[in-house]
Amino acid sequence: MPRNPGKRIAIRPSLKEGEGGRIKNNWRALFLDHLAETSNVSESAAKAGISPSRAYKVRREEPEFARQWLAALWEGYTHLEMEVVRRLRSGDQTTTDSGRYDFANAVRLLAAHRDNASQAMAQQRNVSAAEVRASIDRKVEEIRLQIRHERARAESGQ
């Protein structure tokens, strides 16, 4: 993550709330790795030992970090999409605590974050955001249809 070594991003004390002492030099990598796994900014900031406010400020100030942030969200989006597809194909409808997997909320999350994902994918693939958004819409609709088929199969007792 190249940065201008002479440039220092000043963070107001109010934005440092929740940070303890010195910040690790590799907080950006820790933050981005966890963001790709979870798509959760607050959890990722905590994992990196920084406040979410610091992460947002650095994203505004450093275009390369902003690009990497989008790429991490795209990766997280892809993980969620693949998890939903895997569960539908294998019939895995339970969670680790023996609850039922919430397919409806997973699809809502995919739909809610499709704009961020499409922007990141467009950058990665060098295609327009509209093309990527159309592709995501098709995938989400396929997942919805698969859920309907699974429910219908379960209701008919097969």
Looking at residue 1, what is its pLDDT? 46
Question: Can you give 127-149 as a three-state secondary structure string?
Answer: CCHHHHHHHHHHHHHHHHHHHHH
Whole-number percent of the chain with pLDDT over 70? 77
Q: What residues contact 117, with CB distance under 8 A and at least 6 apart?
A: 73, 74, 77, 78, 132, 136
Q: How confident is the model at residue 6 (pLDDT cuts 50, 70, 90)?
A: very low
Cα separation, 72 vs 34, in Å, equals: 9
Residue 114: what pLDDT? 73
Q: Which residue has the tokens 């002479």?
A: 6
Q: Kindly give the residue spans of alpha helices, DSSP state H, lying in 16-62.
A: 27-38, 41-48, 52-61
pLDDT tens for 91-131 read 888 877 778 888 888 888 777 777 776 676 666 666 677 77
